[in-house]
Amino acid sequence: MTNTITTDTAVSDTAPSETAASETAAPTPQARAASLTRQDFPAGFLFGVATSSYQIEGAAQEDGRSPSIWDVFCAKPGRISDGSSGAVACDHYHRWEQDLDLIAALGVDAYRFSVAWPRVIPTGRGAVNAAGLDFYERLTDGLLARGVQPHVTLYHWDLPAVLQDQGGWTNRDTAHAFAEYAAAVAARLGNRVASYATLNEPWCSSILSYELGEHAPGTRDRAAALSAAHHLMLGHGLALPEIRRHAPQSQAGIVLNLGPQESASDRPEDISAARHADGRFNRWFLDPILRGEYPADTWAEVGPDTPPVQPGDLELISAPNDFLGVNYYTRGVIGAQGGVLPDGASVTDMGWEIHPQGLTDLLRRLNTDYPGLPPIYITENGAAFPDERSGDRVHDPRRTEFLSTHLNALLDASRAGVDVRGYFAWSLMDNFEWAFGYEKRFGLVYVDYDTQERILKDSALWYQALVK
Ligand code: IFM
């Protein structure tokens, strides 16, 4: 491991302090990055880093873990752009102590990780595998011993494959199986965990996975996707009381990926398309969870594909949350023909527009449109860039700029009255980026996949100095 305890320099060679704003101009993003300090944030604000199980753990066949839908999906030719899988990933399952030391060296307050259902209940439903839970107990206690709060996500997309054989999330029983699994995790880890998020980004595990076919299980069926989305949210509703029963002092909530969907022009057809996109991407999840109803306009649009809602479902789904986790990466700019990239837009290595203002706009909109909104944590925000190692350094000034401009955007929303309590950078380290395999690097920490060496990128050193 290199650079893990370096504190002497927080900035890269193209660093903020060297590019300070002129006396007359507004501060540049670099200057704002350099001047950002912990004191700028509300008292008690949490700084963290985040990962997920399948993206980092590896050890796909150890200690009783059964295959997940991602193991199955990765084995299908052409599904993962570099032909890889998460079978080894960052080998975190074996290197967890070193990785917790790395997190502690960063000086963050909190670490968000996910639990792999196929480790805990390999058959999907039924017997609990103690060895699987042992691993997450080691992580939890290891974090606490290092003074770092554990934040657990229960479902970050690695459904036991055996449940997919029975329909996966299109099968209502999966929601009940999820609640049983949530109970098993909460019963073991209990109040030691600061927060439990039931689901990460249900849009991805339903629409992207069952309708667009880009993620596991890779089907292309809109009715199946909307059924999956409903059962995911039902699973959230069923799991919440289990978490509260077993971990009454922990916070319980859900994580959504959200982003403004703005019209490409003033033309009525573009405005209508943007409204439609907002309904499908944001309100389809926000409204059931925070209002107890599906958005009527979008419901009308989906026609025969509407999900199989049963009496009482929406009451369960809309039970109060202690927090809402928001993952923000970009906005959509929508025309009648689909999404467009504005002229002159800067993009990340994912091709996603870099638009920090979208975070402010999103947070303010949530605050306005959803009375009684629970406190918000930004549970993911970050960027992929084609980072390269240069000796023992990785210079990634664009990531530092990305993170700092988004933190400033968060502060703008906070000063406007939105109750934002924390920020988790995605990701602690480079990892398996789903259908893109290892081609996209989101980490603050560079991973050399040949040697499993970890190297703090310049952005990590900047974050370390910020949270100090
Ligand atoms: O890597 C993913 C993560 O698993 C979920 N949110 C978005 C990230 C970047 O694509």
3-state SS of 107-153 is CCCEEEEECCHHHHCCCCCCCCCHHHHHHHHHHHHHHHHCCCEEEEE
Question: pLDDT value at position 27?
Answer: 79
Report the candidate in 158, 72, 149 with the shortest Cα–Cα distance to residue 115.
158
Look at ligand 1, atom 9, and give the residue with the nearest C-alpha: 433
- For residue range 59-71, list pLDDT tens digits in order: 999 999 999 999 9
Which token pair is 145? 């011993």
Q: From the CA of 156, how far away is ligand 1's center (Å)?
A: 9
Q: From the CA of 340, how far away is ligand 1's center (Å)?
A: 21
Which residues have CB under 8 Å from 451's CB, separation 6+? none
Nearest atom, ligand 1, residue 327 CA: 6
Question: pLDDT value at position 26?
Answer: 78
Active site residue 214: no
Pick the catalytic residue: 353, 380, 401, 433?
Answer: 380
Exposed, middle or buried: residue 91 (CB in 10 Å: 0-12, 13-18, 19+)? Answer: middle
Fold of 28-467: TIM Barrel (3.20.20)
113 lines ligand 1 (CB under 6 A): no
Question: pLDDT value at position 135?
Answer: 99
DSSP secondary structure, 307-339, as one string: ----TTHHHHHTS--SEEEEE----EEEETTEE
Question: Exposure pattern of 418-457 as b/e (b: 16+ CB <10 Å)?
Answer: bebbbbbbbbbbbbbbbbebbebbbbbbbbeeeebebbbb
Which token pair is 340? 């467009």
- For residue range 21-34, list pLDDT tens digits in order: 344 677 777 777 77
CB of 82 closer than 8 Å to CB of 437: yes
Which token pair is 53? 């199980």
Distance between CA atoms of residues 455 and 272, nearest Å: 47
- For residue range 344-356, list pLDDT tens digits in order: 999 999 999 999 9
352 lines ligand 1 (CB under 6 A): no
CB atoms within 10 A of CB 390: 10
Distance between CA atoms of residues 240 and 154, nearest Å: 11
Distance between CA atoms of residues 440 and 383, nearest Å: 9
Distance between CA atoms of residues 431 and 55, nearest Å: 5
Torsion of CA 138, 141, 143, 144, to 10 degrees: 180
What is the C-alpha end-to-end distance of the chain, expressed in Å? Answer: 21
Cα Rg, the chain, nearest whole Å: 21
Distance between CA atoms of residues 200 and 411, nearest Å: 24
Q: Which H/E stretch holds residue 105? A: helix 92-106
Distance between CA atoms of residues 454 and 277, nearest Å: 39
129 lines ligand 1 (CB under 6 A): no
426 lines ligand 1 (CB under 6 A): yes
- For residue range 222-272, list pLDDT tens digits in order: 999 999 999 999 999 999 999 999 999 999 999 999 999 999 999 999 999
380 lines ligand 1 (CB under 6 A): yes
433 lines ligand 1 (CB under 6 A): yes
CB atoms within 10 A of CB 349: 17
pLDDT band at 10 (very low <50, low <70, confident <90, very high): very low
CB of 30 closer than 8 Å to CB of 15: yes
Question: pLDDT value at position 33?
Answer: 74
Domain ranges of the chain: 28-467
- For residue range 280-312, list pLDDT tens digits in order: 999 999 999 999 999 999 999 999 999 999 999
Q: Give the pTM.
A: 0.95
- Please name the residue ranges forming H helices in 348-454: 357-369, 397-415
Task: Give phi and psi for 199, each to the nearest 5.
Answer: -120, 145
Pairing between β-strand 195-200 and β-strand 251-257 as defined by DSSP bridges: parallel
Q: From the CA of 399, how far away is ligand 1's center (Å)?
A: 16
Q: Which of 199, 205, 427, 430 to mutate to test the pocket of ligand 1 (most atoms within 8 A of CB)?
A: 427
Whether the per-residue pLDDT at 20 is higher than 50: the answer is no
Nearest atom, ligand 1, residue 200 CA: 5
Residue 262, SS3 per DSSP: strand
